Chain A
Amino acid sequence: LAKTTQPISMDSYEGQEVNITCSHNNIATNDYITWYQQFPSQGPRFIIQGYKTKVTNEVASLFIPADRKSSTLSLPRVSLSDTAVYYCLVGVSFGNEKLTFGTGTRLTIIP
């Protein structure tokens, strides 16, 4: 899996839009980008996955520029319950392959 780099931590106020950027300079042609969310004392939870351009679901949006060397997870109008650690992973297959988690970004939402 390609190495990823994310900010260690971020703070934001409730109601704001939060953008977390992940760098993956060595991404391969067949690699996908997946983001997981982990609340304290819980297992990670899949948020969103994409290959290029923009992907949106009911929880977040994922923006991927043309060179795919980075990606940005966008959380609209965050609430206190969005306080969690967010992990960016890059790879071909996320189902049967072992995953390498980086440091993740610890997002703290301030009331």
Chain B
Amino acid sequence: GAVVSQHPSRVICKSGTSVKIECRSLDFQATTMFWYRQFPKKSLMLMATSNEGSKATYEQGVEKDKFLINHASLTLSTLTVTSAHPEDSSFYICSASAPPSYNEQFFGPGTRLTVL
């Protein structure tokens, strides 16, 4: 139980285009989802906290107009990278708040974004 999926697993796009990444909790409902970005050989950096039915809360330095987050249901959050540029190339990981019996978050497998 408590599985989180991401789609796509990897995407390559041209500079200037927008890319949408989906994060789904498959067998549980997640009121809160988190989006992280990870550059090669670096640690995970939190980008934003996504709450179902409300606006996402962005970390300092993360452009909310560039990284659009939508959490329309208790099982789905999406991250859209708008007007992507090569410097946005990274590994994007989501996590979901677990059911009350778990004191942990469940992470998705990540999405590798490459912007040409």
Contacts and interface: CB of A to CB of B under 8 A. Distances in A.
A42 B43 contact: no
Dominant secondary structure at the B interface? strand
Contacts of B109: 42-43
Interface string B7-43: 0000000000000000000000001101010000001
Contacts of B49: 98
B93 interface: yes
Contacts, number: 57
A103 B102 contact: no
A29 interface: no
A99 interface: yes
Dominant secondary structure at the A interface? loop
B97 interface: yes
Interface residues of A, number: 21
B104 interface: yes
Contacts of A42: 109-110
Interface in B84-116: 91, 93-95, 97-98, 100, 102-110, 112
A43 to B, nearest CB: 3
A43 B103 contact: no
B107 A43 contact: yes
Interface in B59-106: 91, 93-95, 97-98, 100, 102-106
B24 to A, nearest CB: 13
Interface of A: 32, 34, 41-46, 49, 87, 93-96, 98-104
Given A94-B103, A101-B45, 11 more contacts: A43-B108, A43-B110, A45-B107, A46-B106, A94-B105, A95-B98, A95-B104, A96-B32, A96-B97, A101-B44, A102-B43
